[in-house]
Amino acid sequence: MGNPRREDTARQRRDELSPAPYAPAMKEAALVTDASTPRLDLAHFYLRHPERPDRLTAILDHLDSTGIGAHMTALDARDVTADEVLSVHDAKVPAIVDDLGRRGGGFADVDTYLTAASPAAARRAAGGVLVALETVLAGDHRRAFAAVRPPGHHATTDTLMGFCLLNNVAIAVQSAFASGLERVAVVDWDVHHGNGTQAIFDADPRLLYVSTHASSFYPGTGGYTHTGTGEATGTMVNIPLPHGGGDDAYDAAYERVVVPALERFAPQLVVVSCGWDAHVRDPLAPLNLTTEGYTNVARQVIEAANALCDGRLVVALEGGYDEHALAWSAGALCELLLDEAPTPDPEPAEPPPSELPSAEEVDELLGAVRAAVGL
Ligand SMILES: [Zn+2]
């Protein structure tokens, strides 16, 4: 795993950056990217579609220019195998991906495009999350961030939707189960509900899915009364935040619901569906989380993983459509993954206070969520 040349380069650059070589007691964090030249995902784009290569380029350029990425071990994404895809999806999903790719592209639904390059890009993205999982399960790194696209959390067993082709996180979770893990938690802080991940694991008590997302928003799922099916009842924890959202609402949601749900479930691994589209700068969504707010949420999840599962954490990029928000949120996240102090966003955007919901409204919602899942 990993390309020795890239690791050497990272080590060399790291040494150049800091006179005293960075030498943590153990390797804290890996950064998994597609090492192809050019990156496979660069050819997965469509006109002015918001899910575009610049999103990922903004993150990678920031991690590079700040030197943060050089503190992480660079690992190369691999391709997901056909069997790994079929551990989550019906055969029709890869068939649709390949068929549209062969035709030179097309739309799987009204907003989910493919190009001729998309089948390869999708397989590399899913494989990137698997590499992140594998290095964490092997004990080589405590934490790993898979900076990959296209995203995955809307893709269901049999449907490509919401910019998502293959459900990258769900495939990694199935792989974790195949490796012998019995309890995995997915925390999804993308502003959209991860309907695909919920649907795939709805009746599987081995998976705790906790999502903070905008209420009454795409894709329309994620009401708090949906808590899972059969013996998995109580393992789907949905927190549909009122529009306006804001840092205080998020802090409260993580403190009162997300962390207690993780503590009760006692996962052996935490996987994050990491969308940065709840950011106040995001053009698509209404939840007004600042970079600092996102960092506080990430810190709560990292601390929970430290307490519950020796810190084992896999973070997979999902949505997020503002390049400044992506770059600075990713930088702060990676610093936290390295146990370093996060660098503040130099151009913090604040939401107008008039947009924020009242504390009472948030309090009432969180109380209802807690009651629904028996916390
Ligand atoms: Zn999203």
Do residues 247 and 290 lie in contact, with contact meaning Cβ atoms separated by under 8 Å?
yes
Ligand 1 centroid to Cα of residue 83, in Å, is 27
Ligand 1 centroid to Cα of residue 25, in Å, is 36
How confident is the model at residue 17, as a pLDDT?
A: 38
The answer to whether residue 117 is domain-embedded is: yes
Do residues 100 and 118 lie in contact, with contact meaning Cβ atoms separated by under 8 Å?
yes
> What CATH number is attached to the domain comprising 193?
3.40.800.20
The answer to whether residue 19 is domain-embedded is: no
Query: Model confidence at 23, in pLDDT bands (50, 70, 90)?
Result: very low
Domain count, the chain: 1
Query: Model confidence at 297, in pLDDT bands (50, 70, 90)?
Result: very high
33-44 pLDDT, tens digit each? 999 999 999 999
pLDDT at 12 over 50: no
pLDDT at 26 over 70: no
The answer to whether residue 20 is domain-embedded is: no
Ligand 1 centroid to Cα of residue 317, in Å, is 10
118-156 pLDDT, tens digit each? 999 999 999 999 999 999 999 999 999 999 999 999 999
The answer to whether residue 252 is domain-embedded is: yes
154 catalytic, yes or no?
A: yes
Of 170, 183, 186, 196, the residue nearest 80 (C-alpha): 170
> What is the average pLDDT across 71-85?
98
- List 62, 89, 141, 154, catalytic entry: 154
pTM of full prediction above 0.85:
yes
**Residue 231 sits in which domain range?**
27-373
Q: Which two tokens stand for residue 226?
A: 């949906």
340-371 pLDDT, tens digit each? 999 999 999 999 999 999 999 999 999 999 99
What span, in angstroms and rounded, lies between the C-alpha atoms of 152 and 170?
Answer: 8
Ligand 1 centroid to Cα of residue 178, in Å, is 28
SS3 per residue for 158-182: CCCECCECCCHHHHHHHHHHHCCCC
User: What secondary structure does DSSP assign to 222-256, as a single string?
Assistant: --TT---SGGGTT-EEEEEEPTT--HHHHHHHIII
Ligand 1 centroid to Cα of residue 320, in Å, is 6
The answer to whether residue 14 is domain-embedded is: no
The answer to whether residue 17 is domain-embedded is: no
The answer to whether residue 362 is domain-embedded is: yes
The answer to whether residue 62 is domain-embedded is: yes
